[in-house]
Amino acid sequence: MAGALADKVAIVTGGGSGIGRGVARLFAREGAAVAVFDISLGAAEETVALIRGGRGVASATVCDVADGASVMEAVSQVLTVHGRVDVLHANAGIGLPAKLLADTSETEWQRVMAVNLDGVYHCVHAVLPSMRQRRAGAIVITASPHAVLTYRGMGAYAASKGGVLALSRAVALDHAAEGIRCNAVLPGAIDTAMVRAEAESQADPEAALRQLAALQPVGRLGRPEDVAPAVLFLAADAAAFITGAALAVDGGLLARLGG
């Protein structure tokens, strides 16, 4: 199959919804065999059905990225079928309704860290042996603008995303000489289930969505289809000289000082 990921084997975590689904679909259109990992098997299967409807190659695997054993099992299945992993998009993540750190319970803090930070560690750690053996591989991690700047009430989420941004640089440095690249994307406010759930927790959800859209200089929410090409670019061989980079896909959000 032709395309930027022709004959590649790719894993997309959190591929059952939102950004991950957009990336999984684009990866498949670009020729990859895509393993869709998600904590919801039904959601992963929906993504796979969409891909197969477009004549792409994909499989659905239930996997909780917060659980190292679950990730190992899911990655082993991919290795058994395909013999390798060329691309990992470590994307699964959760939000938390906005609350001050003082009001964030230890349980809430630990769950956000377990999925957003430990989850990325588990996935990267599980694919590295195969990538190191083949001296090739591309990893793209979904971070967030909250990794570098944030607003009130986002403590746990911002800390988890700052952690994965630091982790992406560390992985890039540790494995650059082995032909393995690792980069991060920082999506702005993207219209997905996560953002809609956060808006629903506000008194006026539609107003909350409008406010979020207005924060971004382009004046709208992003779509998963806006993020997917950036992930594809970093995952593909065209980006062979790019590693340790953080690519904002945020409608200008991080460029804004005010106004």
- Nearest CA to 136 among 90, 183, 181, 76? 181
Query: Taking a C-beta distance cutoff of 8 angstroms, is the pair 36, 12 a contact?
Result: yes
Rounded-to-integer distance, Cα 182 and Cα 138, Å: 6
**Enzyme catalytic residues:** 157
Q: How far is the CB of 102 from ligand NAD (least distance, A)?
A: 23
Rounded-to-integer distance, Cα 187 and Cα 45, Å: 25
| Phi-psi group of 212: left, alpha or beta (phi > 0 → left; psi -120 to 50 → alpha; rest → beta) | alpha
Q: How far is the CB of 177 from ligand NAD (least distance, A)?
A: 28
Q: In terms of CB distance, is 33 or 140 closer to ligand NAD?
A: 140
Q: In terms of CB distance, is 40 or 76 closer to ligand NAD?
A: 40
Q: How far is the CB of 135 from ligand NAD (least distance, A)?
A: 28
Q: In terms of CB distance, is 43 or 234 closer to ligand NAD?
A: 43
Give every CB contact of residue 172 below 8 A, 6+ residues apart in sequence.
181, 182, 183, 243, 244
Amino acid at 12: V
Binding region for ligand NAD (CB under 6 A):
13-14, 16-20, 38-40, 43, 63-66, 91-94, 115, 119, 142, 144, 187, 189-190, 192-195
Q: In terms of CB distance, is 16 or 137 closer to ligand NAD?
A: 16
Q: How far is the CB of 240 from ligand NAD (least distance, A)?
A: 25
Q: What is residue 33's DSSP assignment?
A: E
1: part of which helix (H) or strand (E)? Answer: none
- Nearest CA to 235 among 225, 220, 247? 247
Rounded-to-integer distance, Cα 130 and Cα 97, Å: 37
Q: In terms of CB distance, is 30 or 45 closer to ligand NAD?
A: 45
Residue 208, burial from CB neighbour count under 10 angstroms (0-12, 13-18, 19+): middle
Q: How far is the CB of 43 from ligand NAD (least distance, A)?
A: 5
Rounded-to-integer distance, Cα 3 and Cα 32, Å: 8
